[in-house]
Amino acid sequence: MATVSFSVNGEVRALKLDTRTTLLDALREHLHLTGTKKGCDHGQCGACTVIVGGQRINSCLTLAVMHEGETVTTIEGLGTPEHMHPMQAAFVKHDGFQCGYCTPGQICSAVAVLDEIKAGIPSHVTGDLNAAPQLTNTELRERMSGNICRCGAYSNIAEAITEVAGRRA
Amino acid sequence: MKFDTPATTNPIDQLKVIGHATSRIDGPLKTTGRATYAYEWHDRPASPAYGYIVGAAIAKGRIASMDLSRARSAPGIIAIVTAENAGKLGKGNYNTAKLLGGPDIDHYHQAVAVVVAETFEQARAAAQLVKVDYAAAKGSFDLSAGRDGAAKPPGRGDDQPDTTVGDFPGAFASSPVQLDATYTTPDQAHAMMEPHASMAAWEGDKLTLWTSNQMIAWTTGDVAKTLGLPKENVRLISPFIGGGFGGKLFLRADAVLAALGARAANRPVKVAMQRPLMFNNTTHRPATIQRIRIGAGRDGKITAIGHESWSGNLPEGRPETAVQQTRLLYAGENRMTALRLAMLDLPEGNAMRAPGEAPGMMALEIAMDEMAERLGLDPIEFRARNDTQVDPEHPNRPFSQRQLVECMRIGAERFGWNKRNAEPGKQRDGRWLIGMGVAAAFRNNLLMKSGARVRLDRGGTVTVETDMTDIGTGSYTIIAQTAAEMMGVPLEKVVVRLGDSSFPVSAGSGGQFGANNSTSGVYAACVKLREAVAQKLGFNSAEIAFTDGQVTAGNRSVPLGQAASDGELAAEDSIEYGDLAKTHQQSTFGAHFVELGVDVATAEIRVRRMLAVCAAGRILNPTTARSQVIGAMTMGVGAALMEELAVDKRSGFFVNHDLAGYEVPVHADIPHQDTIFLDETDPMSSPMKAKGIGELGLCGVAAALANAVYNATGIRVREYPITLDKLLHRMPDA
């Protein structure tokens, strides 16, 4: 057992945990923030994506105790049903989901992707590494490909993200 | 309510709410992480223990011995349940293999134990300490090897393994233009995003299961049967389901093991099946070998059509009915179909989205493309020449609606089909060989009894309760739209509660029968509630309008809620069907168009454009219907290009049993997708005049891709999935 303290959605949370506890299980089973989903527990599906220190990570692939003092944002921290984050609202508007299980991960990823592009971080499909990457269809689809949606809402998700980014799909 | 004559004008036809593109009413919950899935009811039951499943490491044989001693002494362990200590278990009506194996093992990763501990980490660690010694037996794992020994499976009602009309062999032999080709489709996995998961809590001999299940009534019955309980002692709660695709139609091991674990631990237990177990532990779509023979005259008219399919399953399992659509889709006087079933010791094969038609159309619609080419006909024209407005086996039985040719023609125009070069391998865009493909879409419309209860309170709020499920299909929203339309209230005044076995039994979610039947059940209950309201308010007229929250007849108008002023008003009813599905063949139709590029050097395939045109009765909500179709198109891309459970034919298991090994489409694989719904109402189907859509969208997609690959490269691949290795050695010169 070990203690760890980090900020989750703006609130400092201290936990006493089995050191084997993943960040994902700390959120879901200990803090009861079940918006973050467990789809595979092996870093293969992206359903557990959360934003830590401004970067998106698979919370199933990291232990909670590794995040002492860090800042975690989950889907619950982005917005509420009454006050949705623009990305959440865009997903509803464009029906960018069906069963909803991959959705929190898609939304956390999408929010982080826009920041990555703004920060000039290149991807596998960026043509010119010296130029600022643009949110093209190819860039968007490449960067979102770590988040599987078996219901197949990709086309709608792309519309939602491009709308939030202020571009036409 | 008995539906036994074609629908006439009814309140749904007002189309004030129904038929409008409407955002999901559960959308804000799902997008903000507030929707509660099976494993996530942390407040009830309180402080559950955690179960971790141990799967069998052999495909067939026996457990010689199990040593639980090290696991039992591990920290935090509360209980370990195995077949030896679980007590007598029955088997449900809907599963073939038993859900807790031992001492006999029926398939790889069949559950053999659940380890229950205080925490997930402790349960997982202790599960690794369970030592099992197996006596493996020889099994059969190879469908192609089992093909010759495959037997004729027993028939079920109208579904007979062999069908024949006219003289197929004679007509085929004498046809001037012939095709005789064999196609294969692989085993496929549902791979829904939410693993099978359940939480169980006992109160005496009463069991509550929070689970993830498509068919509440079936599964409640099977829980009772498996555990030897009266059905009324079992309560299932499943309001949100993280995808199913047929994989959650039935009781599965997670629910049984959570219940057994909770009984042994004497406290609530939750179990989520580990992702790497899912592919071999649960069901899958069985692989098929399909032989299709088509004979036609030079006029392009089919004279003979034959379709045979071989699939495998465990003893007492069913065949994959891949010939189903061939009995109905195209004209032709001489016909035959045959199903054969090989006994295999692979995991249980069962329904996956559009069972039968999905793999059947993967083969048939390549065959139609091949045949069109032999005839020198455009593939759309060939299909049009063989359209039939009646059931080809029973010409006195018309289709209730059939707009297949319209779907194809409208799609062709919208997609720019006339730009396709019929000669393969001739269209280039830089390093890409470009191809276009088309395929018909077809799936039957199924009618199932479905019930609902509707309650009205004094505030004018209408609450619908039914055990119907929403597996992402949009049930919450279309049910709310139905109640709003019927009761004349805005959508915001409707509350929908689903997925609870204490609610009236519905059709459930499967076979694309959910939307039409469940909303028809709500329609029936609302008709009763309208009568109760009218009576309560003292309206005698037959001409009562329910609009804008008011009940109006003549010049008298009363707020709807007033009917409940001295207590809630409730009504319950079911839709039941007469023989309209017997007198009329009810099916849904569509056309899939695909444009793709094949890299001339690497044979990499990239999908560029996709269009589906569907004729499927009234579209209740164009937003959610469209999502069903584009989702199915996406699954069709997977079926065409990547999805295959690889069989280890020595050890008898699916090797790629996780989401890294079993590849499904990701964002980068899917372009923008277009859909068109033809304006159609089908008064034979139900008072809603709707039909299914969710499976139609999948049927034919993969063949459209295969045909596009052929158009791009001139390479005809008949073995799915179409991976690079099947193209590279035959690619045209760059």
Sign of CA pseudo-dihedral B426, B432, B435, B436? negative
- Rama region for B520: left / alpha / beta (φ>0; ψ in -120 to 50; rest): alpha
For residue B274, the chain A residues in CB contact (below 8 A) are 41
Active site residues of B: 695
Side chain identity, residue B39: Y
Going by the DSSP 8-state scheme, the letter that residue B504 receives in this structure is P
| Three-class DSSP category at B267 | coil
Q: How many other C-beta atoms are found inside a 10 Å radius of the C-beta of residue B23? A: 18
Question: Shortest Cα distance from B29 to chain A (angstroms)?
Answer: 6
CB contact under 8 A, A99 and B241: yes
For residue A75, the chain B residues in CB contact (below 8 A) are 31-33
Q: Are B325 and B388 in contact (CB under 8 A)?
A: no
CB contact under 8 A, A37 and B27: no
Asked if residue B526 belongs to a domain, the reply is yes
User: Hey, of A19, A30, A143, A155, which one would you mutate to test binding to chain B, going by the most B CBs within 10 A of its CB?
Assistant: A155
**Of A81, A140, A156, which has the smallest distance from its Cβ to B627's Cβ?**
A156
CB contact under 8 A, A107 and B241: no
The Cα–Cα gap between B379 and B707 comes to 10
**Of B28, B275, B671, which has the smallest distance from its Cβ to A40's Cβ?**
B275
For residue B31, the chain A residues in CB contact (below 8 A) are 75, 84, 88-89, 91-92, 97, 100, 103-104, 107
Residue recorded with tokens 């959308």: B27
Q: Are B653 and B110 in contact (CB under 8 A)?
A: no
Asked if residue B420 belongs to a domain, the reply is yes
The Cα–Cα gap between A83 and B359 comes to 44
CB contact under 8 A, B193 and A37: yes
Asked if residue B29 belongs to a domain, the reply is yes
Nearest to B625 by CA among B5, B180, B18: B18
Q: Which helix (H) or strand (E) holds B253?
A: helix B253-265
Q: Both tokens of residue B698?
A: 């999948």
Number of folded domains in chain B?
3
- Report, as ranges of residue numbers, the positions in chain B whose pLDDT lies below 70: none
Q: Is B601 exposed, middle or buried (0-12, 13-18, 19+ CB in 10 A)?
A: exposed
Asked if residue B104 belongs to a domain, the reply is yes
Same domain for B451 and B441, yes or no, is: no
The pairing of strands B49-55 and B269-272 is parallel
The Cα–Cα gap between B487 and B523 comes to 10
Residue recorded with tokens 């177990």: B277
Same domain for B437 and B465, yes or no, is: no
Q: Both tokens of residue B233?
A: 């002692």
Asked if residue B345 belongs to a domain, the reply is no
Residue recorded with tokens 């800042």: A71
Same domain for B22 and B133, yes or no, is: no
CB contact under 8 A, B193 and A102: yes
The Cα–Cα gap between B510 and B627 comes to 16
User: Hey, of B24, B193, B475, which one would you mutate to test binding to chain A, going by the most A CBs within 10 A of its CB?
Assistant: B193
Q: Both tokens of residue A24?
A: 């994902």
Asked if residue B649 belongs to a domain, the reply is yes
Question: Shortest Cα distance from A128 to chain B (angstroms)?
Answer: 19
Same domain for B222 and B131, yes or no, is: yes
Find residues 70-99 of chain A whose CB sits inside 8 Å of chain B.
74-76, 78-82, 84, 88-89, 91-93, 95, 97-99
Nearest to B507 by CA among B633, B694, B232, B323: B694
Report pLDDT for A168. Answer: 47
For residue A59, the chain B residues in CB contact (below 8 A) are none
Provide the H-helix boundaries in B393-503: 404-415, 475-487
Report pLDDT for B42. Answer: 82
pLDDT tens, B176-194? 999 999 999 999 999 999 9
For residue A33, the chain B residues in CB contact (below 8 A) are 33
Question: Shortest Cα distance from B13 to chain A (angstroms)?
Answer: 25
For residue A113, the chain B residues in CB contact (below 8 A) are none
Same domain for B676 and B568, yes or no, is: no
Same domain for B508 and B613, yes or no, is: no
Find residues 630-669 of chain B whose CB sits inside 8 Å of chain A.
630-635, 658-660, 664-668
Report pLDDT for B525. Answer: 98
pLDDT at A131 over 50: yes
CA dihedral A25, A26, A31, A33 (to 10 degrees): -50
Of B581, B601, B628, the residue at which a domain comes to its end is B581
The Cα–Cα gap between A156 and B626 comes to 10
Angle, CA B109 vertex, CA B104 and CA B115 arms, to 5°: 90
User: Which are the contacts of B289, defined by CB distance < 8 A and separation ≥ 6?
Assistant: B143, B144, B147, B182, B183, B184, B309, B310, B311
Of B520, B553, B581, the residue at which a domain comes to its end is B581
- Residue B125 lies in domain: 41-138+195-271
pLDDT tens, B501-526? 999 999 999 999 999 999 999 999 99
Question: Domains in chain A and their CATH numbers?
Answer: 2-77 (3.10.20.30), 86-164 (1.10.150.120)
Mean pLDDT of A119-128: 95
Nearest to B273 by CA among B189, B186, B207: B189
Same domain for B465 and B594, yes or no, is: no
Residues in chain A: 169
Side chain identity, residue B36: T
| CATH code, domain with B543 | 3.30.365.10
Asked if residue B311 belongs to a domain, the reply is no
ipTM of the complex: 0.98
pLDDT tens, A71-115? 999 999 999 999 999 999 999 999 999 999 999 999 999 999 999
User: Hey, of A15, A95, A126, A142, which one would you mutate to test binding to chain B, going by the most B CBs within 10 A of its CB?
Assistant: A95
B185 φ/ψ angles, rounded to the nearest 5 degrees: -120, 140
Same domain for B117 and B263, yes or no, is: yes
Residues in chain B: 734
| Three-class DSSP category at B179 | strand
Q: Are A14 and A68 in contact (CB under 8 A)?
A: no
B562 φ/ψ angles, rounded to the nearest 5 degrees: -60, -25
B702 φ/ψ angles, rounded to the nearest 5 degrees: -60, -40
Of B271, B287, B310, the residue at which a domain comes to its end is B271
Side chain identity, residue B313: N
**Of A37, A88, A144, which has the smallest distance from its Cβ to B32's Cβ?**
A88
The confidence band for A169, taking pLDDT boundaries of 50, 70 and 90, is very low
Same domain for B519 and B646, yes or no, is: no
Q: Which helix (H) or strand (E) holds B53?
A: strand B49-55
The confidence band for A167, taking pLDDT boundaries of 50, 70 and 90, is low
Q: Both tokens of residue B504?
A: 């009236």
CB contact under 8 A, B31 and A141: no
CB contact under 8 A, A98 and B243: yes
Same domain for B25 and B99, yes or no, is: no
Nearest to B388 by CA among B178, B580, B587: B587
CB contact under 8 A, A37 and B37: yes
Find residues 31-70 of chain A whose CB sits inside 8 Å of chain B.
32-42, 44-45, 47
Find residues 116-145 of chain A whose CB sits inside 8 Å of chain B.
137, 140-142, 144-145
Beta bridge partners of B571: B454
The Cα–Cα gap between B588 and B680 comes to 11
Same domain for B111 and B7, yes or no, is: no
Asked if residue B170 belongs to a domain, the reply is no
Find residues 125-154 of chain B whose CB sits inside 8 Å of chain A.
125
- Rama region for B24: left / alpha / beta (φ>0; ψ in -120 to 50; rest): beta
Same domain for B467 and B433, yes or no, is: no
What DSSP line would sit under B669-693, residue for residue? G---EEEEE-----TTT-TT-B---
